[in-house]
């Protein structure tokens, strides 16, 4: 069965189809296997939900042993796919989730996702064993393994998801579970800070990526990554193409700790060491790499992609290796080393995108092999970096410190740990006979190819210098820790070899480092070549993309560069005390960490300042804002639409009474402003109310006039009731500025209201509906038209008005009656 077999959930239909073609037993197996891809994602998540129950029943056995079975099973399950993947087969299985939005839970298995999945489950199993010995039973193991399984499921979801939205969901789930794991020792401030920082940075990138995905969906009309890849030619000219690329890259760069977003990774080293080994070296930080590899067929044809990915990768490579040398904490050194190696992988993917650039050329295959090197180094890095972190964990666990300045002379006391450290560090430095040597050679080939293609001759130089620093910090890691003088007085516990259970995982990883060096082609042909075919679908058809890795490839430039790295590295390592002062050129407070801290602090300070500036707590200020907004919005609208042309010819004539009452009211209203006492203000206010009542009389509204007089009187009486409790009437000591502002604002509001009220008269668009209500006697049996409207035509309003009065009454009652007794704290005071 070649090509890909897509199965959706119409199982019955599928079964029928298969019965026609094959034997019945074959179908069942086939369906089961396909289902397992989705199950591989779900199983760890389900297990995470079951961890708490597991613990209570089996408190004698360390629960890590039960957890260990899960990644092991998944690993073995996934191993069985290798032959099929090596044949160039790919598998996809869809479970519908939100089909209306094209969001389906599609698990897609090809070479690329299989590499990652094997790393996740394999190293996951090893890390679980290691954690069993690393974490004592006194720790909160339920939390630890729940988070770990959550992370494992999320990470498998990231690499298997074909649907961009589902990919994003799992992506954020990795951020969250990583946040939880970093803050595992949540009582320590550094852990909380590290968790916060990593969450802020990775989620920022994640959101950017989401926006990029939505743009891709908008352009291509499909949520499926494979769909986007096959449709890429149709929307390459879209103006959203480059923004979508940059946003998705932002997500990848933040997750994979690329410059300048690398700062969260060293801080995340506050996590327990198994977490650092698993998440922050082998799996999660490679999610960004995975994303870049996955989207290379989409964006790889663009120059921008090549320059962004390659240059960011190279800068990260150099800056990470350069900064790692100055670290005194072993985990921080490894963190910066991870940053640097991730940059190296990233830059190789950038170079490989040249293969897609400007169509098919002879050297396309040449460039595509950079991606092969990248994938190869990705696997190698996971093996040796995992082992190194575990070594640091052992040192920390057995000796109580991981400060280089307090360590030394452990080689004879911890021989096995020392051996693993040498294997890992030499592989990291790129020395034979370890797998790092092979990938470094291939890296040099890639950068030389890019340099030879006339793109930038700086690329190989930067890569070479960075490799020298890599060599230096690798040597520091081994020799400062394990050689030199033994300083027992500085250690918390005397040095001794770790238990074998703890050593098991690093030994396995260390042996892998050597095994991959000896048999690199097994890995290359079975996993990396199919993955390469997935990254370069356009090339895969015609060419054999596989690279045959030779242990000895003759005396060429790459080997010379490696010899140069070793010689230069030894020279720099020997003279480190003379040139270490160079780091003083970059003082601590110039770092990106400080920038990040300052940004956080300034965000808080500035937003507080802004809030304090306008949230004064004075009602009058808020009224000014509201009225100013009214003036600007409504007044602006009036000016903008030019509706201030007033037509007063059709207005009714104004009678003498109306003039008189209006003048009386104007005088009363103005007098309120200058009233000397509160009582006269109340009286003048009631004059206004009665004036309105007179207007109602004049305009023939007896019901309104009646109600208005009663309500006005009651209001006046209420004012008087309240009067007794009010403070002295005095002029408020406001700033003179606010007086003028108030004057301007009130005049503005009045003018705008008047203009609008007059302008409304102009635009009678249709005749009024009042003629309908004139039939009130026939329709409602009442001669009072106002009352029939209130209680018959539109009684619903009246009902709710009654409810308003009821609520007001209850409110007044509760305010007066329900209050705290003496000595009680009142709610208002809190």
Q: Which residues bind other proteins (CB under 8 A)?
A: 656-657, 660, 664, 667-668, 671, 675, 679-680, 683-684, 686-687, 690, 693-694, 697-698, 700, 702, 705-706, 709-710, 713, 716-717, 720-721, 723-724
- Determine the Cα angle at 200 with ends 194 and 205, to 5°: 130
Nearest distance, CB of residue 712 and other proteins, angstroms = 8
Residue 105, classed as helix, strand or coil, is strand
3-state DSSP call for residue 762?
coil
Sign of CA dihedral 790, 791, 792, 796: positive
- Closest approach of other proteins to the CB of residue 683, in Å: 5
Structure tokens at 158: 């990231």
Comparing CB distances to other proteins, the nearer of 130 and 690 is: 690
The nearer residue to other proteins, 462 or 683, going by C-beta atoms, is 683
The nearer residue to other proteins, 42 or 664, going by C-beta atoms, is 664
CA 739 to chain centre: 48
Nearer to other proteins, 629 or 699 (CB): 699
- 258: which residues sit within 8 A by CB, 6+ positions away? 252, 288, 312, 313, 316, 339, 342, 343, 346
Nearest-approach distance from CB 702 to other proteins, in angstroms: 4
Residue 90 to residue 270: CA distance in whole angstroms:
40
Residue with tokens 């094997």: 118
Ramachandran angles phi, psi of 707, nearest 5°: -60, -40
9: helix, coil or strand?
coil
Q: What is the 3-state secondary structure (H, E, C) of 658-682?
A: HHHHHHHHHHHHHHHHCCCCHHHHH
Q: How far apart are CA 631 and CA 565, in angstroms?
A: 72
Q: Which is nearer to other proteins, 702 or 750 (CB)?
A: 702
**Angle, CA of 361, 363 and 369, to the nearest 5°:** 125
Q: Which is nearer to other proteins, 559 or 683 (CB)?
A: 683
Which two three-digit tokens encode residue 253?
């760069």
Question: Is residue 663 packed enough to be buried (19+ CB in 10 Å), middle (13-18) or exposed (0-12)?
Answer: exposed
Q: Hunting for tokens 């705008």 — which residue is that?
A: 752
Min dist CB 691 to other proteins, Å, is 9
Q: Which is nearer to other proteins, 267 or 686 (CB)?
A: 686
Cα separation values, 71 from 127, 370, 680, 791, Å: 10, 31, 85, 73
- Enumerate residues 6+ apart whose C-beta is below 8 A from 135: 64, 141, 144, 272, 274
Residue among 694, 693, 671, 702 nearest 684 (CA): 671
Specify the residue, 726 or 757, whose C-beta has the smaller distance to other proteins: 726
Q: Which is nearer to other proteins, 76 or 679 (CB)?
A: 679
With respect to other proteins, which residue has the nearer C-beta, 575 or 707?
707
The distance of closest approach from Cβ of residue 701 to other proteins in the complex, given in angstroms and rounded to an integer, is 9
24 or 724: whose CB is closer to other proteins?
Answer: 724
CB of 794 to other proteins, least distance (A): 21
- Show the tokens assigned to 504: 């098991």
Nearer to other proteins, 289 or 684 (CB): 684
Complex with other proteins: residue 32 or 662, whichever CB lies closer: 662
- What minimum distance in Å lies between the beta carbon of 668 and other proteins? 6
**Would you say 394 or 661 has its CB closer to other proteins?**
661
Q: Of the candidates 29, 31, 39, 36, which has an alpha carbon nearest to the alpha carbon of residue 5? A: 31
Surface-to-core class of residue 790, CB atoms within 10 Å of its CB (0-12 exposed, 13-18 middle, 19+ buried): middle
Q: Minimum CB separation from other proteins for residue 706, in Å?
A: 5
R_g of the chain computed on alpha carbons = 38
Query: Which ranges constitute the DSSP H helices of 699-820?
Result: 702-723, 736-760, 770-773, 776-780, 785-788, 795-817
What is the DSSP pairing of strand 90-98 with strand 4-7?
parallel
Rounded least distance, CB 143 to other proteins, Å: 59
Please state the closest distance from residue 680 (CB atom) to other proteins, in A. 6
Least Å distance, CB 826 to other proteins, is: 19
Question: How far is Cα 159 from Cα 347, in angstroms, rounded to an integer?
Answer: 20
Q: Are 121 and 156 in contact (CB under 8 A)?
A: yes
CB of 714 to other proteins, least distance (A): 9
Rounded CA-CA distance 828/830 in Å is 6
Least spacing, CB of residue 623 vs other proteins, in Å: 26
Instruction: Supply the minimum distance, in Å, between the C-beta of residue 690 and other proteins.
Output: 6
Nearer to other proteins, 710 or 803 (CB): 710
Nearest distance in Å: CB 664, other proteins: 6
Contact 660, 694 (CB under 8 A): no
């Amino acid at each position: 069965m070649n090509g890909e077999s897509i199965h959706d959930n119409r199982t019955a239909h599928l079964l029928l189809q298969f019965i026609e073609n094959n034997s019945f037993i074959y179908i069942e197996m086939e369906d089961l296997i396909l289902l397992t891809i989705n199950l591989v994602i779900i199983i760890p998540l389900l297990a995470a939900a079951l961890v708490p129950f597991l613990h209570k029943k089996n408190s004698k056995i360390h629960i890590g042993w039960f957890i260990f079975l899960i990644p092991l099973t998944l690993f073995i399950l996934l191993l069985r796919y290798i032959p099929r993947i090596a044949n160039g087969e790919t598998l996809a299985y869809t479970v519908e989730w939100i089909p209306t939005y094209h969001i389906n839970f599609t698990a897609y298995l090809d070479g690329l996702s299989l590499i990652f999945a094997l790393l996740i489950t394999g190293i996951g199993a090893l890390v679980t064993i290691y954690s069993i010995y690393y974490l004592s039973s006194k720790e909160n193991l339920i939390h630890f393994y729940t988070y770990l399984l959550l992370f494992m499921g999320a990470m498998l979801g990231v690499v298997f998801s074909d649907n961009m939205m589902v990919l994003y969901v799992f992506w954020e789930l990795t951020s969250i579970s990583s946040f939880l794991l970093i803050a595992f020792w949540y009582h320590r401030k550094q852990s909380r800070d590290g968790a916060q920082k990593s969450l802020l940075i990775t989620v920022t990138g994640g959101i950017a990526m989401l926006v990029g995905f939505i743009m891709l969906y908008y352009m291509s009309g499909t949520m499926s990554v494979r769909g986007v890849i096959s449709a890429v030619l149709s929307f390459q000219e879209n103006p959203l193409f480059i923004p979508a690329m940059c946003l998705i890259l932002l997500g990848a760069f933040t997750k994979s700790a690329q410059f300048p977003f690398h700062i969260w990774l060293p801080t995340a080293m506050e996590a327990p060491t198994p977490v650092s080994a698993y998440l922050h070296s082998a799996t999660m930080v490679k999610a960004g790499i995975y994303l870049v590899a996955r989207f290379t067929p989409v964006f790889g044809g663009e120059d921008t992609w090549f320059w962004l990915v390659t240059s960011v990768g190279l800068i990260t490579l150099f800056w990470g290796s350069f900064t790692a040398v100055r670290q005194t904490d072993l985990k921080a050194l490894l963190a910066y080393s991870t940053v640097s190696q991730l940059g190296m992988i990233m830059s190789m993917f950038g170079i490989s995108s040249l293969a897609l650039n400007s169509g098919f050329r002879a050297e396309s295959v040449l460039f595509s092999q950079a991606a092969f090197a990248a994938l190869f180094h990705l696997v190698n890095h996971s093996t040796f970096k995992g082992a190194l972190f575990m070594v640091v964990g052992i040192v920390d666990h057995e000796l109580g410190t991981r400060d280089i300045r307090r360590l030394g002379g452990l080689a004879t006391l911890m021989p096995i740990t020392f051996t693993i450290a040498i294997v890992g560090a030499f592989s990291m430095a790129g020395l034979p006979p370890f797998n790092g040597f092979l990938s470094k050679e291939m890296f040099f080939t890639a950068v030389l190819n890019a340099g030879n293609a006339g793109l930038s001759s700086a690329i190989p130089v930067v890569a070479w210098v960075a490799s020298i620093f890599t060599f230096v910090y690798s040597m520091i890691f081994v020799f400062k820790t394990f050689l030199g003088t033994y300083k027992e007085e500085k250690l918390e516990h005397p040095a001794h070899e770790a238990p074998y259970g703890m050593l098991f995982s690093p030994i396995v990883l260390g042996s892998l480092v050597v095994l991959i060096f000896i048999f690199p082609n097994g890995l290359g042909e079975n996993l990396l070549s199919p993955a390469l075919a997935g990254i370069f679908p356009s090339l895969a058809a015609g060419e054999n993309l596989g690279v045959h890795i030779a242990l000895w490839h003759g005396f060429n430039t790459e080997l010379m560069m490696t010899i140069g790295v070793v010689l230069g590295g030894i020279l720099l390592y020997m003279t480190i005390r003379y040139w270490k002062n160079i780091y003083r050129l970059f003082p601590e407070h110039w770092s990106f960490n400080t920038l990040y801290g300052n940004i956080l602090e300034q965000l808080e300070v500035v937003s507080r300042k802004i809030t304090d500036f306008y949230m004064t707590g004075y009602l009058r200020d808020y009224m000014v804002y509201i009225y100013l907004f009214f003036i600007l919005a409504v007044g602006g609208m009036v000016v903008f639409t030019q509706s201030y042309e007033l037509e007063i010819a059709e207005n009714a004539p104004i009678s003498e009474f109306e003039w008189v009452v209006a003048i009386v009211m104007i005088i009363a209203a103005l007098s309120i402003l200058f009233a000397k006492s509160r009582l006269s203000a109340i009286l003048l206010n009631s004059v206004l109310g009665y004036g309105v009542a007179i207007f109602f009389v004049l305009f023939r509204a007896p019901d309104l006039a009646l109600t208005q007089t009663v309500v006005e009187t009651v209001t006046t009486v209420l004012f008087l009731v309240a009067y007794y409790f009010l403070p002295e009437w005095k002029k408020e000591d406001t700033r003179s500025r606010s007086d003028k502002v108030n004057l301007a604002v009130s005049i503005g509001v009045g003018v705008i209201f008047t203009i609008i009220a007059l302008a409304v008269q102009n635009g009678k668009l249709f005749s009024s509906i009042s003629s309908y209500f004139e039939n009130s006697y026939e329709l409602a049996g009442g001669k009072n038209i106002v009352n029939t409207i209130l209680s018959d035509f539109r009684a619903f309003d009246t009902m709710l008005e009654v409810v308003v009065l009821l609520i007001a009454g209850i409110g007044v009652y509760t305010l007066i009656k329900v209050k705290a007794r003496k000595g009680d704290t009142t709610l208002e005071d809190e």
